[in-house]
Amino acid sequence: MRQSHTAIIERNISWQGVFETEPYEVAWASEAIFFVRTLEVSGNVEGTMARVQISPDGIRWCDEGTVMPLSGEIDGVTFGKVSHFGTFLRLVGKIPDGVTLTVIVALSLKE
């Protein structure tokens, strides 16, 4: 039987400018899906992306290659799938100037 776990990485957090989620240790998993749900938005986030980053130690980071659009719709959900990663995962990006995006970020993991 496969193991699974869903972690809420960010809850009701407002992103402005450059953002990064809390890192999460995922070495035991073989696949991961980030879900970002928009709770509130002020301004236009069209074309704004979040990038998945990987790390061996939770300190030094590099882009994994997966990008996901951020939704400007209330209750809009977007996702990004990752299947080859090291020990830690996180999301990073930049919200346009003058825009605030309030989100919940979940990380679903499977072994």
Question: Are the CB atoms for 1 and 80 separated by under 8 Å?
Answer: no
pTM, 2 dp: 0.93
- Token pair listed for 32: 């991961």
Tell me the pLDDT tens digit for each residue of 28-65.
Answer: 999 999 999 999 999 999 999 999 999 999 999 999 99
In this predicted structure, what is the pLDDT of residue 52? 98
Domain range annotation of the chain: 4-110
Residue 54's closest CA among 94, 13, 20, 88?
88
In this predicted structure, what is the pLDDT of residue 25? 96
**DSSP E strand stretches across the chain:** 4-15, 18-20, 24-25, 31-42, 49-55, 62-69, 77-82, 88-94, 100-110
CATH of domain 4-110: 2.60.120.260
Q: What's the one-letter identity of residue 2? A: R
In this predicted structure, what is the pLDDT of residue 56? 94
